[in-house]
Amino acid sequence: MSEPQTDTTPLRRTPLHDRHVSLGARMVGFAGYDMPVQYKEGILAEHQWTRTHAGLFDVSHMGQCFLIGRDHETVARALEALIPADIVNLKPGQQRYSQFLNEDGGVLDDIMVTRSADPDEDGTLMVVVNAGCKDADFAHLKAHLPSPIKLLIAEHRALLALQGPEAAMVLSRHCKDADQMAFMTGASTLFDAIPVHISRSGYSGEDGYEISVRADKVAIIFERLLAHSEVKPIGLGARDSLRLEAGLCLYGHELDVTTSPVEAAIQWSIQKRRREEGGFPGFERISRELKEGPSRKRVGLLPEGRAPAREGTEITTEAGEKIGLVTSGGFGPTLNGPCAMGYVDTANSAIGTKVHLMVRGNAMPASIVAMPFVPHRFHRS
Amino acid sequence: MGEIKYTKDHEYIRVEGDVAVVGISDYAQSQLGDVVFVELPKLGKALSKGDEAAVVESVKAASEVYAPVSGEVTEINSGLEAQPGAINEDPEGTGWFMKVKLADPSELAGLMNEADYKAYLASIH
């Protein structure tokens, strides 16, 4: 049986590394970190557990930073020069998904931005970025933020995600009123007596939270959450199958420096004011693509058979003409079948279009379908 | 039940007369994780030792399964299509992949017996 290639670069560790090992995790290199890809029960069981109960993920490899300015408007305008989201009009405590863009409108990274809910912290934005991009992102921020804006890289902070339909009930036992928070809002609060910043968001398609805490306190929170019968530890394998079923982009797969947010079908993250006013890198291309449509588009792909189509699989018309490539593909445990995402020429991107996926030289019939593959169950109050 | 032999790539072969049952070892299934799909060869296919004989896919990735010996595929385990999890639950029993009519029984001599395979697993860990 063939074995996957392994990278031998020394890997960084999160504060919970030894705990993952003691829980029986299989550790793999991911974005420079030695991370749990699965625990003893395996990816299928972990995926299903998250969809039905609450899954606890260590995502401390992700980058966290704070941008601090004189007031909200000052810091928001500084960040808006690098991303296409409307940050000026974020309300205190509100969170938004966005992207760092290059001059061509290509995506450098996709990020979450939260305006501090605390009036004493007016002028503070919390930004969470991908692990694999964080060093470049922080350098990008340092190079481009005007000098009165302070960049505070929160290397001393860890990050957990608690995802699933029972996450709100569980977290409310430790964080007062966590279940009262609206989707895509954040708050500084106490977990028992430990200061944390929580946001009601995540990347599984389920209701849930991300919990940012000082690295030296994360083990206590991890254990207290794990002590609940509703909670199990979940590895990166299920994190990936959950986000794939949810139709969410993963940097390095659906997003890279060549893809624009319009091609990636995440133009919902560019609010009206920014579309009209511009003032972000790549505005010319993005504006044109919004008006005329992009030349290629990210789509969902549902194979008719059982064979998964992996990243890099060629997508063709039924006549065999190449129209694109799969960017993420695998098996959806909740869907109980294969599903994939990829880019195709816009002319062939309509929902319902029949295509072929070239898996090991065979043309596998598939359809272009609307995403998500599994309906989102975010908390909408 | 005949003698079971293993390859360094973690396929097993259990010889029953001039036919051999081929699958992946318990170690291989534990390394793969949950199997969600198997692509088996066509009946009658002539395999040479070392050929890609099948593909086994876990949630994360696809892996090739190589023919441990040369021979013709005489039977495939079509039950795996509906129950690929059998490979995880019972790799050397209900999770078998295919039966092969041995073309050259002398090839078996190059494979490891159970004790040698255990020692080999210990040596790679």
Which structural domain range is residue B109 located in? 4-123
Q: How confident is the model at residue A42 (pLDDT cuts 50, 70, 90)?
A: very high
Average pLDDT, integer, range A298-325: 97
- Residue A328 pLDDT > 70: yes
Q: Which amino acid is at A117?
A: A
In this prediction, residue A7 has a pLDDT band, given cuts at 50, 70 and 90, of low
Show residues of chain A in contact with B78, CB under 8 Å.
Answer: none
- Percentage of chain A with pLDDT > 70? 98
Contact A170, A229 (CB under 8 A): no
Instruction: Enumerate chain B positions whose Cβ falls within 8 A of a Cβ in A.
Output: 9-11, 24, 28, 31-34, 36-37, 39, 55-66, 81, 88
Interchain CB distance below 8 Å, B33 and A38? yes
The answer to whether the beta carbons of residues A164 and A91 sit under 8 Å apart is no
A contacts of B58 (beta carbons < 8 Å): 43
Q: Which of B24, B31, B33 sits opposite A43 (nearest CB)?
A: B33
Largest Cα–Cα separation, chain B: 38
Q: What percent of chain A has pLDDT over 90?
A: 96
The stretch A1-24 carries a mean pLDDT of: 85
Q: Which residues of chain B have pLDDT under 50?
A: none
- Nearest chain B residue to A44 by CA distance is B34
Contacts of B34 in chain A (CB under 8 A): 42-45
Q: Distance from B81 to chain A by nearest Cα, in Å? A: 8
Residues of B in contact with A307 (CB under 8 A): 37, 39, 57
Contact check, Cβ <8 Å, A307/B37: yes
Q: What digits encode the pLDDT tens for the residues A69-106? A: 999 999 999 999 999 999 999 999 999 999 999 999 99
Q: What is the least distance, in Å, from the CA of A58 to any CA of chain B?
A: 19
Strands B46-47 and B52-58, bridge-based pairing: unpaired
- pLDDT tens digits along A246-270: 999 999 999 999 999 999 999 999 9
Residue of A nearest to B88 (CA): A42
Asked if B60 and A37 come within 8 Å (Cβ–Cβ), the reply is yes
Query: What is each CA distance from A338 to A126, A142, A209, in whole angstroms?
Result: 36, 42, 28
Asked whether A353 and A367 are in contact (CB, 8 A), the reply is yes
Chain A interface disruption, residue of B37, B58, B59, most A CBs within 10 A? B59
Q: Flag whether residue A306 sits within 8 Å of chain B, measured between CB atoms.
A: yes
Strands A54-58 and A231-233: parallel
Residue of B nearest to A329 (CA): B60
Residue A236: closest CA among chain B residues belongs to which residue?
B60
For chain A, the average pLDDT equals 96
Interchain pair A330, B81: CB under 8 A:
no
For A240, the closest chain B residue by CA position comes to: B60
Q: Cβ contact (<8 Å) for A44 and B57?
A: no
Which residues in chain B are contacts of A330 at CB distance < 8 A? 59-60
Sheet with B35-39, side-by-side order of all strands: B35-39, B52-58, B62-66
Whether A334 and chain B come into contact, CB under 8 Å, resolves to no
Nearest to B60 among A2, A237, A360 (CB): A237
Residues of chain B in contact with residue A42, where contact means CB-CB under 8 angstroms, are 33-34, 88
Judge whether A3 is closer than 8 Å to chain B, CB to CB: yes
pLDDT tens, B37-56? 999 999 999 999 999 999 99
The yes-or-no verdict on residue A317 having pLDDT over 70 is yes
Q: Could you check whether the bond before residue A233 is cis, i.e. omega within 30 degrees of 0?
A: no
Percentage above 90 pLDDT, chain B: 92
Residue A8's pLDDT is 64
Q: Closest CB to B63: pick one of A2, A43, A330.
A: A2
Rg (CA), chain A: 21
Going by pLDDT thresholds of 50, 70 and 90, the confidence category of residue A4 is low
Strand pairing of A314-317 and A322-332?
antiparallel
Q: What is the pLDDT of residue A381?
A: 65
A18 CA: distance to closest CA in chain B (Å): 19
- Cβ neighbors of A305 (< 8 A, separation 6 or more) are A338, A364, A365
Residues A340-363, mean pLDDT to the nearest whole number:
97
Residue A6: the pLDDT is: 59
Summarize pLDDT for A266-290 with one digit per residue, the tens: 999 999 999 999 999 999 999 999 9
Which residues have CB under 8 Å from A61's CB, separation 6+? A12, A14, A30, A31, A32, A33, A35, A131
Does A188 score more than 70 pLDDT?
A: yes
Give the C-alpha separation, A199 to A183, whole Å: 8
SS3 track for A246-278: CCCCCECCCECCCCCCCCCCCHHHCCHHHHHHC
Domain of B12: which CATH number? Answer: 2.40.50.100
**Number of structural domains chain B divides into:** 1
CB pairs under 8 A between A and B: 63
pLDDT value of position B125: 82
Residue A49 has pLDDT above 90, yes or no: yes
Interface contact flag, A331 B59, Cβ < 8 Å: yes
- Please spell the DSSP secondary structure of A2-15, one letter per residue: -------SPPB--T
Across A362-372, average pLDDT: 98
